[in-house]
């Protein structure tokens, strides 16, 4: 590109002609944030192999970094040709409230679009798993990986599933060691944090080979694992544990992106006690784990 052809940035956002797109549905009402649970969200950049994964607890600004002004948003879209696609430096706000995630346009130059509808600046709109989100002309698909609860409601329903402000995660353990085998850093950290909250001590490993070495030395109190792991399958770990006399009653939970019935059947046949699909609801996780650990230890 010749120097004369290079866009003059100077912090300003390139304006695009986006007036042909329709308006978004009416905005939703949101309640004050009174209960924070972790969310893990993937933004898949449409027509590219790029995936942006973030762990949202309260709120994050999404936009593009600009060295001239010193702006660096929490979710930086600059590596994805954000300037040429009309993304503002502080384009929109992602807010996690109770059992929902919402997006709010921050008065961007080229607008924020949800499922092809343009958002009213300053209003919050609920995001759902699988939504199409566009900041200017940069298109993203929204995928939830971990959420507080899998319960869904339409935007015009009262949010009765949000826990009250004094709700607490039940303590079920007293420091017992739980092995988490998961190669997704954000998912592993979330599961580890939840286990700590309910009274356990977690060790996170990224692959089955390392897990087999650890289990061969000493069995943990319980195992939580993904099936789809680099190298060896999680099924190998389940089969190894169940082949040991002292591992036949060990609680094993599968939390996996393998969503087909065949994979679930394989895991159960190998000896898994419970199979949870991603996106993972933390409420499902806590309830499921409470069912498979020994009653006398609860």
Instruction: Say how far apart CA 236 and CA 157 lie, in whole Å.
Output: 45
Instruction: Read off the pLDDT of residues 97-130 as tens digits, 9 standing for 90 and up.
Output: 767 899 999 999 999 999 999 999 999 999 999 9
Confidence class for position 295, pLDDT limits 50, 70, 90: low
Mean pLDDT score of the chain, rounded to an integer?
85
Give dist(CA 82, CA 97) in Å, integer: 27
Q: Sheet containing 252-256: which strands, arranged edge to edge?
A: 201-205, 177-181, 222-225, 252-256, 274-277
**pLDDT at residue number 258:** 81
Q: What is the pLDDT of residue 166?
A: 45
Instruction: Label residue 21 by pLDDT band (50, 70, 90).
Output: low
Is the model's pTM score more than 0.85? no
CA distance 73 to 228: 32
The residue ranking higher by pLDDT, 4 or 120, is: 120
pLDDT, average across residues 64-82 = 95
pLDDT tens, position by position, 151-206 = 554 444 444 334 444 445 688 999 999 999 999 999 999 999 999 989 999 999 99
Pairing of strands 177-181, 132-135: unpaired
Task: With cut-offs at 50, 70 and 90, classify the pLDDT of residue 35.
Answer: very low
Q: Where is pLDDT greater, at 144 or 18? A: 144
Structure tokens at 278: 């991603």
Report whether 40 contacts 55 (CB < 8 A): yes
Q: How confident is the model at residue 33 (pLDDT cuts 50, 70, 90)?
A: very low
Can you say whether the dihedral through the CA atoms of 174, 288, 36, 170 is positive or negative?
Answer: negative
Q: For position 187, what pLDDT does the model report?
A: 93
Average pLDDT over residues 211-233: 95
- Could you read off the pLDDT of 129-146 as tens digits, one per residue? 999 999 999 999 999 999
What residue ranges define each of the domains in the chain, with the CATH number in brackets? 32-147 (2.60.200.20), 177-297 (3.40.50.2300)
Task: Name the band, by pLDDT with cuts 50, 70 and 90, for residue 17.
Answer: low
Spatial contact of 57 and 36, defined as CB atoms under 8 Å apart: yes
């Amino acid at each position: 590109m010749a120097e004369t052809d290079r866009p003059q940035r100077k912090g300003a956002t390139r304006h695009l002609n986006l007036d042909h797109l329709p308006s978004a549905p009416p905005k939703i009402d949101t309640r004050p944030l009174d209960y924070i649970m972790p969310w893990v969200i993937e933004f898949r950049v449409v027509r590219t192999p790029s995936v942006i994964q973030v762990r949202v607890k309260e709120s994050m600004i999404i936009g593009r970094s600009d060295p001239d002004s010193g702006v660096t948003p929490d979710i930086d879209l600059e590596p994805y040709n954000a300037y040429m696609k009309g993304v503002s430096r502080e384009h929109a706000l992602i807010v996690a409230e109770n059992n929902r995630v919402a997006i709010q346009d921050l008065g961007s130059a080229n607008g924020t679009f949800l499922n092809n509808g343009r958002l009213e600046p300053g209003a919050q709109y609920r995001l759902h798993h699988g939504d199409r989100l566009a900041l200017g002309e940069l298109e993203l698909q929204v995928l939830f990986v971990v959420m507080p609860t899998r319960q869904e409601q339409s935007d015009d329903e009262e949010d009765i599933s949000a826990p009250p402000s004094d709700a607490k995660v039940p303590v079920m353990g007293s420091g017992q060691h739980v092995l988490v085998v998961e190669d997704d850093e954000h998912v592993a950290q979330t599961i580890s944090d939840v286990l700590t909250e309910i009274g356990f001590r977690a060790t996170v490993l990224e692959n089955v080979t390392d897990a087999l070495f650890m289990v061969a030395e000493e069995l943990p109190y319980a195992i939580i694992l993904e099936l789809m792991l680099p190298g060896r399958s999680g099924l190998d770990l389940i089969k190894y544990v169940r082949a040991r006399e002292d591992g036949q009653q060990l609680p094993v939970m599968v939390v996996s992106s393998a969503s087909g019935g065949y994979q679930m059947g394989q895991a159960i046949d190998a000896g898994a006690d419970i199979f949870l699909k991603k996106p993972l609801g933390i409420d499902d996780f806590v309830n499921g784990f409470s069912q498979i650990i020994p009653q006398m230890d609860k």
